[in-house]
Structure 1
Amino acid sequence: MAPLGDPAPDAPHDIAALPQLPPQRPPRHPLLVPVTGIFILLTIQALVFASVFLIPVTTAILGYFILNAPRRGLERIGIPAPVAAAIFTLSIAAVLFVGGMLLSDPIYEFVTDIPTLLEQVVAALTGPGGPFEAFAVAADATDEALEQAGAVEPMQVQVVDNAGLAASVAAIAPALLGQIVFAMCLLFFLVASGDLFIQKAVQVADRFENKKQTVRMIRMIETRLGNYLGAITLINIGLGAAIGLGMWWWNMPSPWLIGLMATVFNFVPFVGAVAGASIAAVIAFVSFLDLWAALGVFATYYALTAFEGQFVTPSLVGQRLRLNVTMVFLSVAFFAWIWSIMGMVVAVPMLIVVKVVCDSIPRLRKVGLFLGDAEGFLPEKERPA
């Protein structure tokens, strides 16, 4: 029998030999969920409230990531960053200026003619021989019967002096021009600073591994955005040329303008194709006064965009960038809600940035996998086969 106070013969003499329990996670703070929800709501409200400032800032930052690789290429041949920044910004400004000068008159005429076009469409649909003539006759008969029965009281109409849609567009033009100038100036300073932004981001990181991961994340953002924008621009130019030829085959007025509209609209996923096809169908209906011709123009436009979206873009972009289509749709809807049209344009680039950031942070890799393919940052053993 072992003496009192001595350990049992079969008891371990080394405390390290005892089985180690897994570390216990600290209890979650009860206010974590409500505070996080309040933070998200305040962030969304801030994005909406400061949209006039954040839209050009976001555009300039995305442009900086896209132009970093060309800027480094120019530096390798002896062109300094400020000169490269001036070349880029002046080229973009020249394209915007020339495009604005060439398209200002057609766009202004189209905008001012929108009420007339709608009236013509309604008149053609509900007039004699129109497909909705019976509904119009029934509506007129109902109004006449109500007036004879005395059920409809005279309505007081007040004439309001309003210049119409064209005046509204002209009213927002100065603010839009100011945002463009601000974005161009900020883009110039960002590109002219060279790799200063990257250096500061690296200095913020504590450990060497974090510094290396930060550089890799920024380079991945530049590569993904550059590949996406370059491929999508070439695809949209080809799509615009194909749609222009299709509109010329339909004998549409100004087919080149419709093709250019298709090129610009296709930068907005989902919405751009439907909006462009609808506008082309309205123009066709007003020009030919034929519903079947309008449907044919709509089908031609949408079929070309559908072919591009289902076959051309996946074959050229799909190997470099695979995103969850549902998340792309939600991203476009969200940014359209907070930033209107410009939000729809920057929605996919912003989603790319968020995905790369999630891929680079181990705790957020599941979010990155949900947004799309994350092979660029996954360890070899975790990559999908």
Structure 2
Amino acid sequence: MGPRDTQFERVLWNTAAIGIVLIACVVAFAAIDAGQVILAPVFLAVTIGLMFGPLADRLEKRGVPSSLSAGIVVILLIVLLALGITLFAVPLSQWVERIPVIWDKLREQAMALREPLSAVATLQDQIQEIIGGTATMSVAVESGNPVTDIAFQAPALGAQVLVFLVSLYFFLATRHQIRVGVLSMCFTRRMRWRTAHVFRDVETKVSRFLFSVTIINFCVGVAVTLAMWAAGMPSPVLWGALAAMVNYIPYVAQAVMVTVLFVVAMGTQDDLVHVLLPVGLYLVISFSEGQLITPQVLGRTLTLNPFLVFLSIGFWIWVWGPVGGLVAVPSLLMLTSFLDHVLPRGVDREAPIPARVRARVVREAGEEIAARRREEEEERQAEEAEEAVVEKPSRRRPGAGKGTSAPAAS
């Protein structure tokens, strides 16, 4: 009975632990969803702050105070956002005026598909007669004014933008104090060492990833602009800028751009070849960027599992919308950096390991072992010094006793 009871209690303990973890995950997801208005801009500010952290460090090395360097970075970001909005505003205003013409052209294209659709409808009616049932479908269209919706959403959007800018400024201005405060809560030297490496890897990986992706997206935007100009698409700069902007969200960017280019080409081009040509050129550029350029630029250290990237993007878009798509990959990099140092992964000796990976693993393992030996040696020396300080008074007592007894004997 004893071993069975022990095994049963162990199963109950493990089940309870798993249940507590699942409950904590559900509560965390609910809190993230409920706090979207505040948490989304704050987390986006932290992500952008990690990207601009090296720039603020360079300014501080030249004698600029941290508060002033943070203000400079925030002003620079506002200028970049203003330039991007200006780049989109002029072409979009022209396309808003052309929406009725494009809509008429799309209706003409849809009329060409009327006969196949009517054939499908006739086939559906015949299937229903054979089955012997009738099916009715009612569509209810809710009336709403887009201007009214925008008017109601504008204050909330402005508040989130303000929270984002304020959070970005204070994060950049106090990032060193935040790091020191977190390290001061670590009780052991090894914990402080691991936490410091987590901070270093998170800042390095996120800043390198976002900076590299920004340069790649700029090149993609230029390539898409030239390709749309060669294909005869109107406003090629607009489509290049849109491709560069949405390319921060993998997988989703390709679907959005293919849909937009196909609809615009359907409304502006005459034949099928010119309709499919912009979509084909964009797919070639996107494939070259995703399979050839990005892996070479980012390297192996920032290469993530595509399935994990897809899950992260799907989860964060489901929770926070477009802002979640922007922070999906950086949040995954933060999580992997944390797990790499908190839960070090072992090396599978049976699996074939490339020479570069083996050399890097051996070097990192050697550095970690050397650091641990230095820590153990310092702790041993500190203990020996404490023991020496404690033993000195006890060694002096016999001599002191002899010195006092000698005059008494004389």
TM-score (norm 1): 0.78
Quote how far apart the aligned CAs of 1:334 are: 0.8
Tell me whether 76-85 or 313-322 shows the greater mean CA deviation: 313-322
Match of 1:332 in 2: 313
Match of 2:406 in 1: none
The correspondence for 1:81, drawn from 66, 71, 76, is 66
The answer as to 2:365 corresponding to 1:380 is: yes
Residue-by-residue CA offset, 1:117-137 (whole Å, 9 max, x unaligned): 56643x23432xx3x242244
The answer as to 2:53 corresponding to 1:71 is: no
Tell me whether 92-101 or 41-50 shows the greater mean CA deviation: 92-101
Match of 2:374 in 1: none
Match of 1:191 in 2: 172
Match of 1:271 in 2: 252
Match of 1:62 in 2: 47
Quote how far apart the aligned CAs of 1:34 are: 1.8
* Larger Rg belongs to: 2
Amino acid at match of 1:99: G
Quote how far apart the aligned CAs of 1:94 are: 1.8
| Structure 1 unmatched ranges of 5 or more | 1-23, 146-150, 367-372
Q: Is the 8 A contact 1:227 1:320 kept in 2?
A: no
RMSD, aligned CA: 3.5
Tell me whether 64-73 or 352-361 shows the greater mean CA deviation: 64-73
Matches for 1:36-55 after TM superposition, within 5 Å: 36-55=21-40
Name the CA distance, whole Å, in 1 between partners of 2:250 and 2:58.
31
The correspondence for 1:35, drawn from 10, 15, 20, is 20
Secondary structure in structure 2 of the residue aligned to 1:263? helix
Match of 2:202 in 1: 221
Secondary structure in structure 2 of the residue aligned to 1:195? helix
Quote how far apart the aligned CAs of 1:104 are: 3.2
Tell me whether 258-267 or 44-53 shows the greater mean CA deviation: 44-53
Measured at CA, do residues 156 and 238 of structure 1 come closer, stay the same or move farther in structure 2, by a change above 3 Å? closer
Name the CA distance, whole Å, in 2 between partners of 1:195 and 1:226.
16
Name the CA distance, whole Å, in 2 between partners of 1:193 and 1:377.
36
The answer as to 2:334 corresponding to 1:353 is: yes
Q: Is the 8 A contact 1:243 1:258 kept in 2?
A: yes
Q: Is the 8 A contact 2:91 2:235 kept in 1?
A: no
Write 1 or 2 for the structure with the bigger share of helix: 2
Amino acid at match of 1:295: L
Match of 1:163 in 2: 145
Match of 1:254 in 2: 235
Measured at CA, do residues 207 and 275 of structure 1 come closer, stay the same or move farther in structure 2, by a change above 3 Å? same
Q: Is the 8 A contact 2:224 2:240 kept in 1?
A: yes
Quote how far apart the aligned CAs of 1:356 are: 0.2
Q: Is the 8 A contact 1:81 1:194 kept in 2?
A: no
Residue-by-residue CA offset, 1:256-286 (whole Å, 9 max, x unaligned): 0000001001111011012112201211110
The answer as to 2:108 corresponding to 1:124 is: yes
Amino acid at match of 2:22: G
Secondary structure in structure 1 of the residue aligned to 2:144? coil
Quote how far apart the aligned CAs of 1:381 are: 7.0
Name the CA distance, whole Å, in 1 between partners of 2:321 and 2:280.
27
Q: Is the 8 A contact 2:49 2:172 kept in 1?
A: yes
Match of 2:159 in 1: 178
Quote how far apart the aligned CAs of 1:248 are: 0.1
Name the CA distance, whole Å, in 1 between partners of 2:362 and 2:171.
27
Tell me whether 91-100 or 220-229 shows the greater mean CA deviation: 91-100
Q: Is the 8 A contact 1:85 1:189 kept in 2?
A: yes
Measured at CA, do residues 175 and 117 of structure 1 come closer, stay the same or move farther in structure 2, by a change above 3 Å? farther
Higher relative contact order, chain-length normalized (CA < 8 Å, sep 6+):
2
Instruction: State percent identity of aligned pairs.
Output: 26
